Amino acid sequence: MELNLEPDQLGSKPAPGTLALVQAFINTADVEAGTDSLSSTAELEGWLRARGLPLGEEPLVPGDLERAVAVREALRAMVLANSGERLGPEAVATLNRAAARASIKVRFDPEGRAELAPSGQGVDAALGVILVAVQEAEADGTWKRLKACRNNTCTWAFYDGSKNRSGTWCTMDVCGNLMKARAYRRRRARSLSAT
């Protein structure tokens, strides 16, 4: 699949292959700036079509937007879990419902290679493509490297390219320095109050 991804949705550490689609989808909500690129059905449709995802001809409805946002936030919970947070059962249930609605099935290409593909319609099919990208990343070992920034005012999805998979923040320059400064101030305040 040909991906058309905007660099600002990927950050400084873009994920490889179709995992970049998952990363960009999660980053449609900028927690730090308080903005959401998917705040209407028209914006959702535009975002999905711009990336060549299957939608069909039927117009989107508000329920489509609600399901897409729920899937996005469940995926954010998954990448937070890749960063060491606890994964709640509601995120897993949301993703399982989305996979069922997408009717993800095994199919074989002309060379006989098996692949997963959604056979659902509309937004459900588009979300299915995103979920298939997660499964492909699980299979090739890149999924655990897609993480969410541990700065709780950020949570930007980033690809951890570090050798030992120890990345914690989307960027060291911004969130890393901020979090280290916060930790220093907490330690210093404890030290001063102890004396």
Residue 76's domain comprises: 7-194
Asked if residue 185 has pLDDT above 60, the reply is no
For residue 176, what pLDDT is reported? 47
90 within some domain: yes
CATH of the domain at 93: 1.10.3300
Q: Where are the beta strands (DSSP E) in 119-167?
A: 146-148, 157-159
Query: Which position has the higher pLDDT, 162 or 139?
Result: 139
What digits encode the pLDDT tens for the residues 6-41? 544 555 568 999 999 999 999 999 988 899 999 999
For residue 12, what pLDDT is reported? 58
Pairing of strands 104-108, 146-148: unpaired
46 within some domain: yes
Count of structural domains within the chain: 1
Residue 85's identity, in one-letter code, is: E
125 within some domain: yes
State pTM to two decimals.
0.82
For residue 64, what pLDDT is reported? 96
**Angle at which helices 19-26 and 62-82 pack, to 10 degrees?**
110
1 within some domain: no
Average pLDDT over residues 136-157: 91
What digits encode the pLDDT tens for the residues 148-162? 998 887 888 999 877
For residue 161, what pLDDT is reported? 79
What digits encode the pLDDT tens for the residues 50-107? 999 999 888 998 899 999 999 999 999 999 999 999 999 999 999 999 999 999 999 9
167 within some domain: yes
58 within some domain: yes
Share of residues in the chain with pLDDT > 70 (%): 77
Asked if residue 170 has pLDDT above 80, the reply is no
Q: Where are the beta strands (DSSP E) in 45-155?
A: 104-108, 114-118, 146-148
Angle at 41 (CA atoms; ends 37, 44), nearest 5 degrees: 45
Asked if residue 179 has pLDDT above 60, the reply is no
Token reading at 140: 């090739």
What digits encode the pLDDT tens for the residues 94-122? 999 999 999 999 999 899 999 999 998 99
Work out the mean pLDDT of the chain and round it to a whole number. 85
Give CB contacts under 8 A, 24+ apart, made by 88-95. 94/70, 95/71, 95/131
18 within some domain: yes
2 within some domain: no
- With b meaning 16 or more CB within 10 Å and e meaning fewer, what string describes 162-185? eeeeebbbbbeebbbeebeeeeee
